[in-house]
Structure 1
Amino acid sequence: MNIADLTFDMVRSYAEACRELHDYIADLQQDGFGLVVIPSRGAHPFFDGANRHDYETRPREMPISPFQLIDTLYLPFTADFGQASPFESRDIRRYWSRTLAAIVHRDTEDVAYRLHEYLRGSSKGFAIGDTSIKPASSEKFIFVDTVVSGRAICEIFDAFDEYGLTDCHFILLVDERGKRLKAEYRRRIDEMTLSQRATVIQVEKIFTEDEGPAMSGIWTVTFPDIMEHARKMIPELANSNEVGAGLYYFEVANREDSSNLDFTISNAILSTMIGTAVAAGPDHVVKRFLEDFQQHIAATKLQNQARTKNVADLRIFKGLPIDSTDISSSHVIRAHMAPTRAERFLRNFLAGHKTPEHRPWHD
C-alpha cells in the first residue's frame, strides 16, 4: 500500500494484533509448543511487536519471561521468483515444508535440508538465526504467517499434511479482516480453525506486507539458477518436483558508508511507532511517529524497488559470487549466476564437500 494512506486506526489495529499474537503464543507454549516458525517477512514485525508487548507487561522482577525462551526459526517460504519463473508456487512451498519437516523430525539426511544448510554455509552473513538440527523435547511448533488471498497458506496446509507436520498450530494474521480472502481458501482456513489447528487474528491493514526491508529489516535473496539446476541434478528433488533456494538476512544497523542509513531510520521509526502503540501509548505520540514515518518513506522513496536493489547490491556483490540481480515487485532480490557456477555449486554439494572452507561456487 501507499504509506501516505496509512491511518492511525490501522496502526492501532496492527498493535492489537501484536498483543493478541503474544497471548496466543504464550498460551501455546504452556501446552508444550517450544518453537515459533517465521516463514515470511510480513510476519516478522508482528512477532517483534509481540516481543515488545512481553517486555512491557512482564513483572520487572522477572528479567526473562517464558515467552523469551521459546525457540525461533526463520525459513524463506517465499515463492516470488518472477512472472517468467518456471516453478510452481506449490512446489517451492513443498520444498520449504520438507526442509522444515527435516528440522522438526531431526532428519539430518534429508536432501532438501542438506541443500539449504549447504547454501547457508556458503553464504556466511546472509542467513538469519540457526537452522541446525538439535535435540528437542517436543515436535510441537507454532507457524506464524500473514494471509491476504489465502492461496499461500493453503498450499502450506497441503504440504504440511504431506510431510506429517501435524503437531503444528497456525496463527494467521489476516489482512483487511478477511475481505481479500478467496472463497475456496476462506473455507479451508475456517475448517482449520474449527478443528483447532489454526487461530485467526484479524488486522485492518497489514501495511508492512511486501514492502521490503524498509518495513521489516529483513532482506530476501533467492537463487533461481541454483533452483533450476537442482531440479535437474538432484534426483530426489526432481522426482518429487520440489525446488527451493533462498536466504533471509537481517540488516538494520547503519553501515560505515551510510549506504543503508535511510533503511535504518525507517525501521527505527516504525519499531518505535508500533512499540508505542503496543504499549497503549498516548494517541498524540503514536500519531507523531506515524507522521514522521510517512514523511521519511516519501522523502527517501523506500517503497521504490530500485532503492532496495541498489542498497542490497552493495552488500550482496561483495559476499556472493553472482553475476547480476533483479528485484520483484515485493522487494525480493533474485541473485543470478552463470550456469557453470550453479552447476559447480551443486556438483560439490552432491560430492559431499564441506562449507565454507571450499567455497563451492567460486572460480
Structure 2
Amino acid sequence: MDVRSITIEMVRSYAQACADVQLCIERLRTIRYDLLVIPSRGASPFVDGARSYAHALRDEKYADFDPAAPRIKPIEELYVPFTADIADDFPIPSSVIRRYWSRVVAAMIRRDAHDPALQFHLFLRSLSGALAMGSTNIEGGGSGRFIFIDTVVSGRAVCEIADAFAEQGVTQCHYILLIDEAGRRLKAEYRQKIDALVAAGMATKILVDRIFTEDEGPAMSGIWTVTFPVLMLQAQNMIEGLEDAVGAGLYYHEVAKRRDQSNSAITASNGILGTMLFAAVRGSDDSAARFLEKFQDHVSGSGLQAQNVTKRIADPLVRANIPTVSDTIVSGSHVLRAQMSKSDAQKIVASFLDEQTLLPKPKL
C-alpha cells in the first residue's frame, strides 16, 4: 500500500496488536514456551513493537515505585526465511518450499544435526558472510514447545506451514496469527483451518485493521530476504531427501548506515518507524501522529517503496558476500531473487555433498 494512505487509526490498531502479541507471549511463557520463531519480515515490526510495550509496562510500574515492577527478559528469537516468493512459472510449488523450512525448524527443535534440510541451510549460511541473520544454536524449544508468529493475508502460507509441521510430528507449536484487514481477505478454506487451530488451543488470532508493513520491503522492517531459485532447483535434483521439500534462502538485517551512506534512507526509515510504534504502544497519539507524518514524507521522498531502489541498495552487499550471484531480481514484495548460472549452482551443491561425506556418520 502507498505509505501516504496510512492513517493514525491504522497505527493505533497496529500498536494494539503489538501489545496483544506481548501479552500472548508472556502467557505462553508461563507454560514453558521459550522460543519465538519469526518466519516473515512482516512479523518483525510487531515483535519490535511488543518489546516496546514490555518496556512501557515496566516503566509504568517503576514510575509508581512498585517493587513488583517486571524485569524484562526477552524470549529467545529464531529468524528463519520461510518465504516462498517465487516466479509464476517456477517449477517448485510454495508448499514444497514451506515444507522444507518447516523441516529445518523441526530438525532444530529436535536437535537433529543430521537432517539434510538443516544441513543444507547451515551450509548455505556458511557461504554467505554478512547475509546470515541470527544464531541457529538455539537453547529454547527443547521441550518441543515453541511459538510461531506470522502475518496472515489470504491464509495460504500459514496453512501450508501448519500442514508441514503436522507432517513432521510437530504438535506443540502455538501460532500467533496477525490477521490483516481483520480477516476480510481470508479465503474460506484457510479461514476454516485457522479456526480449527484456534479451537484446538494451538493458535491465537490477533486482528489488525491494516498491516501496512506487509510486503513493503526493508523500508519497513530492516530485514532483507534473498532467495536462490537456480540453487534450489539443483539442490532438489542432487541432494537425496530434498526431492519433495527444498528451499534456499537467507535473511539478513541491515539498517546501520554504510560508510558510503548508500543505505542511509533505509536506516532512517527504520528508525522513524520504530519511534512511531514506540510512541503508539505507549498511547502517545500526538507523538505517533508526528512521526507518522515524518515517516510518510521520508519513505515517499526517498522512493523506498520502489523495487529499483531496493535493488540499488541491496546489490552491492549481496554480490560482495556471494560472488557467484550474477544479478538480483526484486519481486513485487521486495524479495531479492539471486541469480546464478546452473553450473555455479551445481558446484555449490557438489561442494555441500563433498562436505557431508567427510562428516562422521551418526550412530544408530
Matched, 1:206 2:208: no
The answer to whether the 8 A contact 2:78-2:138 is kept is no
Aligned-residue sequence identity (percent) comes to 49
1:104 pairs with 2:109: yes
Partners of 1:10 and 1:29 lie apart in 2 by 29
Structure 1 residue 348: Cα displacement? 1.0
Q: Conserved in 1, the CA contact under 8 Å of 2:55 and 2:72?
A: no
Query: What is residue 78 of structure 2 aligned with on the other side?
Result: 73
1:232 to 228, 234, 237: 237
Q: Hey, what does 1:361 align to over in structure 2?
A: none
Which residue in 1 is equivalent to 2:361?
Answer: none
TM-score by length of 1: 0.93
In the other structure, the counterpart of 2:296 is 294
Shift, 1:133, TM fit: 5.5
Shift of 1:82: 1.8
Aligned to 1:177: 182
Partner amino acid for 1:301?
G
Quick check: 1:197 aligned with 2:202?
yes
* Worse-superposed segment, 128-137 or 272-281: 128-137
The question of 1:278 aligning with 2:281 is answered: yes
Aligned to 1:56: 56
Letter in 2 for 1:50: A
- Check the 8 A contact 1:106/1:133 in 2, yes or no: no
Contact 1:26 1:67 in 2 (8 A): no
Instruction: Please report how far the alpha carbon of residue 83 of structure 1 lies from its aligned counterpart in structure 2 after TM superposition.
Output: 2.0
CA deviation vs aligned residue, 1:7-50 (integer Å, no higher than 9, x gap): 00000000000000000000101110010000000000000000
Unmatched runs of 5 consecutive residues or more in structure 1: 355-363
Q: Is the 8 A contact 1:13 1:203 kept in 2?
A: yes
Q: 1:164 to 1:331 in 2, by over 3 A?
A: same
Could you tell me how far apart the structure 1 residues matched to 2:81 and 2:141 are? Answer: 22
Measured after TM superposition, the shift of residue 137 of structure 1 is 4.6
How many Å apart are 1:345 and its aligned residue?
Answer: 0.8
Tell me how far 1:65 sits from its aligned partner: 3.2
RMSD: 1.7
Structure 2-normalised TM-score? 0.93
Report if the CA contact (8 A) 2:181-2:208 is conserved.
yes
Distance 1:167 1:292 in 2: 42
How far the C-alpha of 1:300 sits from its partner, in A, is: 0.9
Q: 1:265 to 1:231 in 2, by over 3 A?
A: same
Q: How does 1:1-363 map to 2 (within 5 A)?
A: 1-58=1-58, 59-60=61-62, 65=71, 67-68=73-74, 70-132=75-137, 137-238=142-243, 241-281=244-284, 283-321=285-323, 322-352=325-355
Greater CA deviation, 57-66 or 24-33?
57-66
Checking the alignment, whether the CA contact within 8 Å between 1:18 and 1:46 is kept in structure 2 is yes
Question: 1:358 maps to what in 2?
Answer: none
Distance 1:135 1:177 in 2: 31
Q: Structure 2: how far apart are the matches of 1:176 and 1:329?
A: 20
Q: CA deviation at 1:144?
A: 0.2
